[in-house]
Amino acid sequence: MATSAYAQSSSWTSFLKSIVSFNGDLSSLTAPVFILSPTSLSEYSQYWSEHPELLVAANQLKPDENATKDEVDVLALKRQIAVTKWFIATLRSQYCSRNESMGAEKKPLNPFLGEVFVGKWETDDEKLGETILLSEQVSHHPPVTAYAIANKTNNVYLQGYNEIRSTISTTSINVKQYGHALLEYRDVGESYLITLPPLHIEGLLAASPFVELEGTSYIQSSNGYITVIEYSGRGYFSGKKNTFKARIYKDQISTINKQNALITISGQWSDKSYISKGSSTPHSKNGDELFYDALASEPLHLSVKPIEEQHELESRKAWLKVSEAIKSSDYDLIHQEKSLIENNQRELRKKEKDAGIKWETRWFDLKDYEDWINEGDNESNPDIFLSLASLSNLSIHNAPSGSLKNSKYDEGEAKHWRFNLKKWEEESEIKI
């Protein structure tokens, strides 16, 4: 990889030194201006739906009333493949878009508590309709962003949240994601639990950071099917960057043996991938079917209201002056404008403390699953997350995303952020 002109600069070398001794909170690091992004992390929730047609696709694979059991089963597997395709299609936006638009991975602005980012994906396609995004910073220490994405035309709803925790190794930053997403296709009465892969940031010595995904993530359907996705950076599967292998199994028990895979998908999530039946690895050279070409379909970007119409808690309005200072590389102004926001936040927290109150999240609630299990009516009102976690043998605790039940991480609290539709329906200040 080419070394960027910034690699030898004193600001970069002192940044690298600060990384070596950092405390795990990446947002607390003071970074040189060329590595700062003018965009807040609260905006990253939009990456889940830059291909809205793929997000809703599974809902359109409904069996008709006279369908035989075989036809119903075939469609259920097709929906699992469709959801897997949508998920793979989100990855280029999630993990490559800053490199594509700004030349390298950048350090995003650290959202303040209560910051929101909203918008919609509009198309001329009547069948697809409009998809909306609500993203809210529900915690500042540690930073946690929650989001809800809805397409009413297709009755498709996605919600989730994420938090990161980082450690440093000799040449890279290792990041574990916490949180998960829940996807509902209400017309077919099906839901999915989606876990988030670990990642590491490479290219630090060359001052040209980029993300590599690693480990495993899961997509568990309420109909039993499970997709197990394994990620690798350059080298392991094929010598190419951003490679993955996804295997779809009938159920979690079948995952014990890779030979049980019904479908195998393999390739680069930032480029082309191929699909074949069974457990053998598909490849273009064998004439296997193209699964997804990430470079062939451009992402549809979210439409966001003009700044003048935004509420003061909306991300782009709140960070406008900092963003402009970053774009003009004015370090003193960045510092000055950032301090205004930070001091304002400190004052707010102090006032709340003095008044004995706590900041109330806007559209999301922290649901305690231990309480729910003890007090909830599990039989007549089963919880989607608990059912899917049980089907996939995944931990329900606040463990790194994708941790298995009975693994060393499967302990502690079981509190997860959930969208509260009533709160959104009662929202009077923030418009999409």
Applying CB under 6 A, the residues found at the interface with ligand HCR are: 26, 35, 41, 44, 47, 94-95, 105-108, 162, 164, 175, 177, 201, 209, 211
Alpha carbon distance 413, 344 (integer Å): 31
Minimum separation from the CB atom of position 7 to ligand HCR (A): 13
Alpha carbon distance 162, 432 (integer Å): 22
Is 162 or 227 the residue whose CB approaches ligand HCR more closely?
162
Is 196 or 275 the residue whose CB approaches ligand HCR more closely?
196
Is 162 or 254 the residue whose CB approaches ligand HCR more closely?
162
Alpha carbon distance 402, 422 (integer Å): 29
- Tally the C-alpha atoms within 13 A of residue 118's C-alpha that lie toward its C-beta: 21
Alpha carbon distance 146, 365 (integer Å): 10
How many residues are given for the chain?
432
Minimum separation from the CB atom of position 228 to ligand HCR (A): 20
Tokens of 2: 């080419």
Minimum separation from the CB atom of position 77 to ligand HCR (A): 27
Minimum separation from the CB atom of position 204 to ligand HCR (A): 6
Is 161 or 225 the residue whose CB approaches ligand HCR more closely?
161
Minimum separation from the CB atom of position 107 to ligand HCR (A): 4
Question: What sign for the dihedral angle of Cα 403, 408, 410, 413?
Answer: negative
Minimum separation from the CB atom of position 295 to ligand HCR (A): 19
Is 95 or 274 the residue whose CB approaches ligand HCR more closely?
95
DSSP secondary structure string for all residues of 381-422: S--HHHHHHHHHTB--SS-BTTPBTTSTT--S--EEEEE-HH
Is 331 or 370 the residue whose CB approaches ligand HCR more closely?
331
Q: Are 143 and 137 in contact (CB under 8 A)?
A: yes
